Structure 1
Amino acid sequence: MKIKLTSVIVDDQDKALKFYTEILGFVKKSDIPVGKYKWLTVVSPEGPDDIELALEPNDNPAAKTFQQALFEQGIPLTAFFVDDIQEEYERMRKLGVVFSKEPTKMEWGAFAIFEDTCGNLIQIQQV
């Protein structure tokens, strides 16, 4: 058994696609209309056949409540790994990304938390 797909809840799929590709550097893999939404996934350019990230619309009231509660509590919805957290932090800040937590060193490595413009806090970490 292995993980091939995971998802983030987003308040606007088009805005999410723009942020996740133009700012974070992911690559669009799937963009298939499904009613008023779409099956929309992105992948890392470093592993285009690895794990896909679905940009799921938060149209479900439970999803909206969950997303809002995590955001208000300062809890990241997911985490992405980077090779150099300081370099990635500086690159993203120059692009206007808002960080709620600057790079912080821990015993296991370092992490930072940013807003994805789609209703989520996302953590980046370096091990």
Structure 2
Amino acid sequence: MDITDQWDYTALMLAAQFNKPLVVSALIQEGADVNKVSFFDGKSALILAIESYCCDTVNILLENGANVNYRKPIHKSGTTALMIAAQNGFIEAVESLLSYNADVDLRDEDGHTAECLCPDSKILQLLNM
């Protein structure tokens, strides 16, 4: 189920990246690991879904136990899904991540939190609630 391609991505990770929520759900039902991480770039299915602005997929992954506070390895920047969503202005993902208790105080390799990386005032308000 968790066989990987040349970038160490699983079928679930690819379905998350390309916003295929029905495929994501089916793969999870068949036992795909929602927390598998690519050794190539340190990304998880949740991070790939956030980078692709796939709100439905983000929610499916969170509902099925995706690690909301996973940090990419330091040599890959040490960022979290919340940092990426905040930095990219993906407010729906920020709201979902916060509802699953994403840690707003985690820092990347440069010492930045999601708040430090966020250019959007609405998201900043959410992060400071």
Give TM-score, length-normalised by structure 2: 0.25
Which one has a bigger Cα radius of gyration? Answer: 1
Give TM-score, length-normalised by structure 1: 0.25
Normalized per residue, the structure richer in helix is 2
Q: Greater relative contact order: 1 or 2 (C-alpha under 8 angstroms, separation 6 or more)? A: 1
Normalized per residue, the structure richer in strand is 1
